[in-house]
């Protein structure tokens, strides 16, 4: 099954690339897509810095998934498109995972001030 999500985020392509091109983060995102309790081993299949990042699962006994993130400068931000090929039977659940990835990429990353 294929799921897609797209959003324009108010970050530059280099900022988004720094977040997305992170092995641990990709493994965690993939775990969410295949309903794994922990990060899933992946292999990067395509990498064009600040443009395209694609990967697939490599766990021989696990669920199969392929994910591609595409970045394109757009006005005051960057258009982010995520496409996932997966075996998840519930499309809404897979779409929610991709929306969560977009939320994570778009978050400010700021921590609230600690209060004494």
Q: What is the pLDDT of residues 79-109, one digit of tens each?
A: 999 999 998 778 899 999 999 999 999 987 6
Q: Is the pLDDT of residue 111 over 70?
A: no
Question: Is 65 among the domain residues?
Answer: yes
Question: Is 61 among the domain residues?
Answer: yes
Question: Is 69 among the domain residues?
Answer: yes
Taking the C-alpha atoms of residue 105 and residue 101, their distance in angstroms, rounded to an integer, is 6
Question: Is 63 among the domain residues?
Answer: yes
Question: Is 85 among the domain residues?
Answer: yes
CA distances in angstroms from 107 to 15, 55, 84, listed in the order given: 11, 22, 21
Q: How many domains does the chain have?
A: 1
Residue ranges with strand state E in the chain: 2-9, 42-48, 52-57, 65-74, 77-86
Taking the C-alpha atoms of residue 43 and residue 31, their distance in angstroms, rounded to an integer, is 13
pLDDT at 109: 63
Which residues form the domain of 25?
2-106
Beta bridge partners of 72: 79
Question: Is 111 among the domain residues?
Answer: no
State the residue for tokens 């092995």.
23
- With a pLDDT cut of 90, the percent of the chain lying above it is 71
pLDDT at 114: 42
Q: What is the pLDDT of residues 42-81, one digit of tens each?
A: 999 999 999 999 999 998 777 889 999 999 998 889 999 9
Question: Is 115 among the domain residues?
Answer: no
Taking the C-alpha atoms of residue 82 and residue 89, their distance in angstroms, rounded to an integer, is 18
pLDDT at 113: 40
Question: Is 89 among the domain residues?
Answer: yes
Which CATH number do you get for residue 42? 3.30.530.20
pTM above 0.75, yes or no: yes
């Amino acid at each position: 099954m294929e799921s897609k999500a797209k959003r324009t985020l108010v970050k530059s392509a280099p900022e988004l690339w720094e977040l997305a091109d992170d092995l641990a983060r990709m493994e965690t995102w993939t775990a969410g897509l295949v309903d794994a309790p922990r990060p899933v081993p992946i292999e990067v299949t395509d990498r064009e810095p600040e443009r395209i990042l694609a990967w697939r699962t490599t766990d021989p006994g696990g669920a199969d998934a392929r994910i591609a993130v595409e970045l394109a400068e757009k006005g005051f931000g960057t258009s982010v498109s995520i496409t996932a090929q997966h075996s998840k039977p519930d499309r809404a659940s897979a779409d929610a995972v991709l929306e969560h990835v977009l939320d994570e990429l778009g978050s400010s990353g700021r921590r609230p001030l600690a209060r004494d």
